[in-house]
Amino acid sequence: MSTNLHPIEQEELMAYLDGELPADQAIAALSHLELCPECQTLASDFRGVSQELMAWEVESPEVGIPSKINAALGERLQKGEAAKVSSPRLKNRVMTSRWVWAGALAIVCVAVGLKLTLTSRNRNEDRSTAYPSMASIEQYLMPDRNAEIAMARSAAPEAISSDAKILVLGWRGYETAIEGKNGFVCMVERSWMSPFNSTEFWNPKVRGPLCFNPAAARSILPLTIKRTEMVLAGLSKAQMIDSIKAGFDNKKLPPPEPGAMCYMMSRAGYLNDAVGHYAPHLMFYFPLTDKASWGADLPDSPVTLNPQFQGGPEPITEFVITVGKWSDGTEAPVM
Residue from 136, 154, 213, 266 binding other proteins (CB under 8 A) = 213
Compute the distance between CA of residue 28 and CA of residue 229 in angstroms, rounded to an integer. Answer: 13
Residue from 25, 129, 139, 289 binding other proteins (CB under 8 A) = 289
Shortest Å, Cβ 261 to other proteins: 6
CB 31 within 8 A of CB 132: no
Shortest Å, Cβ 295 to other proteins: 4
Q: Does 183 bind other proteins (CB under 8 A)?
A: yes
Q: Does 292 bind other proteins (CB under 8 A)?
A: yes
Q: Which is nearer to other proteins, 183 or 195 (CB)?
A: 183
Shortest Å, Cβ 300 to other proteins: 4
Q: Are strands 185-189 and 165-170 parallel, antiparallel or unpaired?
A: parallel
Q: Does 146 bind other proteins (CB under 8 A)?
A: no
Q: Does 58 bind other proteins (CB under 8 A)?
A: no
How is 161-227 classified by DSSP, letter by letter? Answer: HTTSEEEEEETTEEEEEE--SSS-EEEEE-GGGS-TT-TTTT-TT-BEEEEE-HHHHHHTHHHHHHH
Residue from 38, 158, 175, 273 binding other proteins (CB under 8 A) = 158
Residue from 131, 201, 278, 284 binding other proteins (CB under 8 A) = 284
Shortest Å, Cβ 316 to other proteins: 11
Measure the CA angle with vertex 228, ends 283 and 319; round to 5°.
Answer: 15
289 CB contacts (<8 Å, ≥6 apart)?
A: 317
Backbone angles phi, psi at 213, to 5 degrees: -75, 170
Piece in contact with other proteins (CB under 8 A), picked from 77-85, 165-173, 229-237, 253-261:
253-261
Cα 271 to Cα 76, 79, 191: the distances in Å are 59, 64, 8
Q: Does 179 bind other proteins (CB under 8 A)?
A: no
**Residue 331, helix vs strand vs coil:** strand
Shortest Å, Cβ 146 to other proteins: 18
Compute the distance between CA of residue 38 and CA of residue 24 in angstroms, rounded to an integer. Answer: 22
Q: Does 286 bind other proteins (CB under 8 A)?
A: yes
Residue from 44, 129, 139, 182 binding other proteins (CB under 8 A) = 182
Q: Does 324 bind other proteins (CB under 8 A)?
A: yes
CB-neighbour burial class of residue 248 (10 A; exposed 0-12, middle 13-18, buried 19+): middle
Compute the distance between CA of residue 150 and CA of residue 285 in angstroms, rounded to an integer. Answer: 25
Q: Does 288 bind other proteins (CB under 8 A)?
A: no
Q: Does 45 bind other proteins (CB under 8 A)?
A: no
Measure the CA angle with vertex 194, ends 237 and 141; round to 5°.
Answer: 85
Query: What is the identity of the amino acid at 31?
Result: S
Q: Does 259 bind other proteins (CB under 8 A)?
A: yes
Q: How many binding residues for other proteins (CB under 8 A)?
A: 46
Q: Which residues bind other proteins (CB under 8 A)?
A: 156-160, 162-163, 182-184, 213-215, 256, 258-259, 261, 263, 265, 280, 282, 284, 286-287, 289, 292-295, 298-303, 317, 321-325, 327-329, 331, 334
